[in-house]
Every structure is written in structure tokens, then in C-alpha cells.
Structure 1
């Protein structure tokens, strides 16, 4: 009887009409935020206006947007045990995902190009060994999980060729209080998985083993990766790199006068066809680089973190409630409010 009910529920979910992003006002971005003591997921317009907001049970981190239907998955700040599937037409939570007991979500996820699968960044609670969870999006049932081929995977990005880029941060943490347990021996990497989860290629930085690879952006065939330095900051350390699989990585070095601006911490990265932008809430700055890794500009604003592409440039959010447009020439404030924006801004630029 239960198997029959599960089948009928899956069939009903598959056959139900699904609204597109255009049906809910064509939002351009998703962002988590805090207002007072409450947490929400916001849909933002191309100019940063909040079109609607949906309550979350706790602090959000990143979100994943379904490629066609008006549906988003909001992830708890890592390590977390909830990911909420939200119908953005009604605001209803249609599914609440929970990883297997030995696993924790780690803040990020990505849909397959056709939207039939959701992939989630996860860690083994006791060891921080990485897994990629796979979910069938018809009724959000869990199918299986793959090794991430590293410790502490964080952001994952699906490339146009169907391969999955995984930022394995390399840090083992206590499952309760997030104490970092292996800083002297950490070995982050950037792994590339085939559509069936096989390791295709992998990049590491043996000369900078304490530069935790955390966040990713795509620039054609090139993967931009943002890092957080876990060692002593006696000398400047690059927080942005570029990797084209099959070649050696290129590290993006700021101008000498800006060498310590990011204070060893990159919060988000975004890319256009010709520009890369990396934010540092710790340093209160956003840095723009060319596609060859040349530092073009540095713009300052306290607690900048969220970043996404916007009208040939970038849209940024900060923890003080402001939303900014950014280009080579500077920052332009688009709006401000009482919502303290969290770390990430998710673009819906490819949705229908």
C-alpha cells in the first residue's frame, strides 16, 4: 500500500502544471537575508528590488534555482540538516530535504541542465569527507550520493558540458561547533566530475595548501575559484584563481598596493565573458580582474559579499542592507533597506 501511495504521489508531482519564472514576475536573483530575528529567501528584480520573500526556519546560505519552473531550494548555513524546496509562485514549502543521518548539507547545490536532478554539497559529519547527494526532482526523493573526492566540499557548479565542478575546501570541522581540526595538514582541491560522478580531473595548490578553495564561477571553459587563507598572513596570498581543466591554474594577484586588502578572505565570485569579481566582507572590498587575471579595479564597501552578473557588470549585496551595481568604474547603490543580506546572490539569468 505504501509503495502504491509513493508511486501515485510521484506521478501526481510529475503531472502537475508547473509555473515558470516568467509567471512569477521574472525575478533575476535569489538571496537569503535576515530582518530582525527572522530569516527569509528573497527574489530580487534586475535592479535589486525584493519581489517577494519566503520565511526560512533558520539562517540561509545559498540557493539553487530550477532551470525552468518557479522553484528554488534554500540551503541552511553549513553545516546544516535542512534544504527547503519552495514553490516561488505560492511561497509554499513543497518538500523539506534531510540528508542521511551520517551526512550534513554544506551550503550549496545545483540542478542538472534539464532540471530532473538536484545535486547537493554534503559532508560526512564525523570526518568531513565530501559527498555529492543526488535527488530526483519529480518528488525530491534521494537517489544516491557520490564521493566529492576531497574534504569539505562547498560550492558546486554544473558546466555547460554536463561536468560538475566541486570546490573541496579541505577543512575538517567538528560536526557540532565547526572547530577546524586539520589546518596544518589540509589539502583543498578543485575536482571535476563526469555526469555519472566519475573523477575526470583535479587541481590542487601544493605550494598553498592552506588556501581553502570555497566558491566557484564559470567563464566559458574556465573555472574561477575563490579561496580563504587559513594560515598566517605575513605575506599576501591570492584569493582568486583560474583553472582550465587539463592546464595549470593561474592565480590572480592584486596590485601591490592592494595586496592585503582582502585580508585572506574571499566571500563570493562572479564572472562575465571578460571580467571576474571577487568580494571580501572581511576586507570590505570587491576586486575586479580581467579574464587573464589582471587586477583592474578595487571598490570598497563594508561587508560586501553577495555577487552575481548584472547587465554586463555585477550586482552586489552587503550585510548592511544595501544593493549595488558594480563595474570597472565603481559602485552604484541601487537600493537599501533593513534586511542584512547573507553571503550569496544567485543569478536566474538562464531561467525561462
Structure 2
């Protein structure tokens, strides 16, 4: 299936989005036509097979797109309708599908001696696609650059200025890449084993998208060197919110969320201690609801998702949800999924994976 460069074309065209309603099964087509919002998430079926699930704003699983393996993060371009789902680290494939036209879905591959870190982003005009990659031979993070107009040909790369590069995004004007370097060394020969927990190097980086030049690099203080900076999102005012996963002693209670803007130092948010306890020193996903001025975080460790005030990081609400996984902005607040099949309060017979994107 992978060798052809395409992946189950009929499944993609059947379930790729609003433009293909006519090709969906009647029940799925009806649900999709009535949906005000459509989300995509990786999932694992009860039979062990992997897929991308399309989910309505009511949490109904509309349809599934078959996959050759497990995926992690997803991203979407509103300019072109293209979406990408990345293989889970240390995977080497990413799946491109189109929710607006009948361009054939395809699989792209990381170059030799690279693997994807599970995240990427489009330029605002949709012409370029950026992917976080591991140059494992040199132990450095890189950002691969792909031309979406030339079948996602890889046309260049720029350094991520750190190791363990994970999530990344692009500013609204397209001028900067924002990169979360988790600071953890890995190598595919050792699977997902973390090789440098005694000397981690987490950082958050701003890079000139045109030249690849480093604009700013923010490192955490020495006493927080084991706080891996993993995921991020950008607010309407350009402020960057980030979420962390702690690799230190379980009895520590480090801050797990922070924010910054260009020209500013990092600001770490100290949540109530009992909230930090329930997060289990681990935030698996973060999302900003721009229209409502909210920040949402989710953690599967002890099963919690929470909403913060986007102006000051103050805790507004927290909700217990076993195996809480993905989170994305919804019209009113946030859509939240779980590994046991929850999505917006509805249960499906699948295990949703860690991230959600809205199409």
C-alpha cells in the first residue's frame, strides 16, 4: 500500500471532507452535512488497525480513513484545504489528504537518516509545509521545508537550534517559525528511549522563516532543565503558549504551562498544587481558543483537562476525563478526546490518539 505513493485512495476520497459528501455512506453524509465543525484525529480501531477519524462538533465519529500505522499530530491549511497527519515518533511517513478537491492523497517520507517528530505546520498561504525532523546522526533537530505545489517535494531545511524538536507552528504573517525543542536525545536504534535525561536541553525558539536565521532562543533555568517543552499554540495577539512534560522526580511540582512573545522572557504559570498533582507533571496537548481568549490543556496521566484565562493563565475550570488526550478550540470552548473513545462527551468504540485538529 505504501509503495504506490498513495494510501487507500478510495477511503481517503470517501472520507476526506465536505467536498466528498456525495461519496460518503448515507448516514455519514447526513451527519457531515449538518456539522458546523469537523475535527480530525488519529485513532486505533477495536481490531487494532489505525485510521484518521473525522468527528462532528457533537462528538459523532462520521467516518474513518485507513492508515498504515499510528499517527500523532495533525495540521490543516485553511488556505488550501490540505491536511497532514504525521507518523508517531520515530516514524518516517506523513499522510497528506485534501478536504476541498479531488487531488489524490499521498504519503510523503522523511529523507534518509531522518525521522519525523510528529508535528508540522503550513505557511499562511499554504504554499510551504514545514515538518519537525530528527537528524539523528548529528543529534540535532531540523525543520524540513516542502513545496505543496510540487507534490510536497522537499526543497530545503533549516536548523531548529535544539534537540528533541517536537511541536512547531508559524506566525500569522508567515515571518517566523515557532519551535518547541523538548531537549531529549533519541535515536531510532533505541526506539523511543530517552538517552540524555541527566543533561536535557529544552528550549523555545523563534526562527526567521525566510532565511532560517535564529531570532530568539529561550532556554529554561538550570533547576528546570528536565522540563521538556513539547507543545505550543499562538493566541490572537501573537502570544505563544507552551506546555511541558517533566522528566524529573515524581515528587517535584514544576510549572507545566507558560507563555512568551517576541522580545520577552518566558513566563511560567504556577497552577494550583492540586491541579498540578492531577496533571501528573505531564501536559499532553495545548490549544488556544482565539475568539474566546482561552487556553486549554489536557493530560492523560491522571485524566484531566483544564481551561485557563488567556490573559493571565488563571485557572478557570478543570474537568476529570479518564485518559484525556487531544484538545482543540471549539466554537464555544474546547473539543476534548480520550484514549478510550470519548470526544466532546460522546463515546465511540475506538481509541483516539493524542492530538486533534479542526478542519
**2:199 paired residue number:** 185
SS in 2 for 1:23: helix
Which range is displaced more, 261-270 or 69-78?
69-78
**1:229 paired residue number:** 246
Match of 1:278 among 294, 297, 312: 297
Change beyond 3 A, Cα 1:105–1:257: closer
1:88 Cα shift? 4.0
Conserved in 2, the CA contact under 8 Å of 1:268 and 1:343?
yes
Change beyond 3 A, Cα 1:96–1:234: same
Structure 2: which 5+ runs fail to align?
1-15, 21-32
Match of 2:39 among 24, 29, 32: 29
Alignment of 1:192-203 (within 5 A): 192-196=206-210, 197-203=212-218
Alignment of 1:255-266 (within 5 A): 255-266=272-283
Match of 1:290 among 272, 297, 309: 309
Deviation sequence 1:17-75 (CA, Å, 0-9, x none) = xxx96534575321110102111112222223233321110001112223233432221
- TM-score normalised to the size of structure 2? 0.84
Report the Cα distance in structure 2 between the residues aligned to 1:66 and 1:221, rounded to whole angstroms. 18
**1:214 paired residue number:** 230
In the comparison of the two structures, how many residue pairs are matched?
A: 320
Report the Cα distance in structure 1 between the residues aligned to 2:104 and 2:127, rounded to whole angstroms. 19
1:93 Cα shift? 5.6
Deviation sequence 1:81-123 (CA, Å, 0-9, x none) = 1112224468986322112111111101111111111110100
SS in 1 for 2:83: strand
**1:174 paired residue number:** 187
SS in 2 for 1:149: coil
Deviation sequence 1:266-297 (CA, Å, 0-9, x none) = 10001124221111101210122112021222
Structure 1: which 5+ runs fail to align?
1-19, 325-332
Report the Cα distance in structure 1 between the residues aligned to 2:102 and 2:327, rounded to whole angstroms. 24
Match of 2:326 among 306, 309, 312: 306
Change beyond 3 A, Cα 1:184–1:121: same
Report the Cα distance in structure 2 between the residues aligned to 1:259 and 1:71, rounded to whole angstroms. 37
**1:12 paired residue number:** none
**In the alignment, does 2:134 pair up with 1:123?**
yes
- TM-score normalised to the size of structure 1? 0.86
Conserved in 2, the CA contact under 8 Å of 1:168 and 1:190?
yes
**In the alignment, does 2:72 pair up with 1:76?**
no
Change beyond 3 A, Cα 1:260–1:307: same
**In the alignment, does 2:78 pair up with 1:67?**
yes
**Greater fraction strand:** 1
Change beyond 3 A, Cα 1:343–1:223: same
Report the Cα distance in structure 2 between the residues aligned to 1:230 and 1:303, rounded to whole angstroms. 19
Report the Cα distance in structure 2 between the residues aligned to 1:108 and 1:226, rounded to whole angstroms. 15
Computed over aligned residues only, the root mean square deviation of the Cα atoms, in angstroms, reads 1.9
Report the Cα distance in structure 1 between the residues aligned to 2:316 and 2:294, rounded to whole angstroms. 9
Report the Cα distance in structure 1 between the residues aligned to 2:240 and 2:112, rounded to whole angstroms. 32
